Amino acid sequence: MVIHSKSVQILAYICAVILIPVYTFGSLALFYATYKSTLNPDVLVTLFIAVVSVVVSLFGYKSMYLLVRFLKTLKLSFEFDENGIALNSENEVQHYAWDELKNSKDYPSCQVFCLLSKDGNHIFSIWEYAKNYSEFRKMALEKIGI
């Protein structure tokens, strides 16, 4: 069974409290710096700051999106075997075959693996610190090549 322990859940919420404002207001601060640098007569400095602002903002918003999506599934768990996974939500169990999970993605920069259905819908996000994560990743590599 892959599950996030209570300590991992607390750590995830602490990271969210710290990182979500950084991702949100950090990019706004960079755009403000770009605006202020337009007063600088050197166009290359302004252009450089603008490019850095856009790149950092895109990375920040992507990371924030993954973090929020991860927090939504933090309390869920799933079991896996040779046939696929069984997602345990509050009152029901949903089964997915490995073939249905071919669209899943690994985000090494965020230490998150996202299980996606064949339609591209998000099923579950797994942090590297989850219990039985390494065993699951070996099975996922064997079954779906990710």
Q: Transcribe 61-99 into DSSP letters.
A: HHHHHHHHHHHHTTT-EEEE-SSEEEEE-SS-EEEEEGG
pLDDT in the model for residue 24? 86
pLDDT confidence of 5, banded at 50, 70, 90? very high
Instruction: Indicate whether 4 pLDDT > 90.
Output: yes
Whether 76 and 124 have beta carbons less than 8 Å apart is answered as yes
What are the tokens at 41?
């007569």
Residue 39, CA distances (Å) to 36, 69, 94 in order? 6, 39, 57
Of 30, 137, 145, the residue nearest 85 (C-alpha): 137
Angstrom distance (rounded) from CA 7 to CA 19? 18
**pLDDT > 70? residue 40:** no
**How confident is the prediction for the chain on average, in pLDDT?**
91
Rounded to whole angstroms, the Cα distance separating 130 from 8 reads 7
Domain 77-144 part of CATH 2.40.50: no
Q: Above 90 in pLDDT, residue 52?
A: no
The full set of domain ranges for the chain reads 2-72, 77-144
For residue 102, the number of C-alpha atoms closer than 13 Å in the C-beta half-sphere is 4
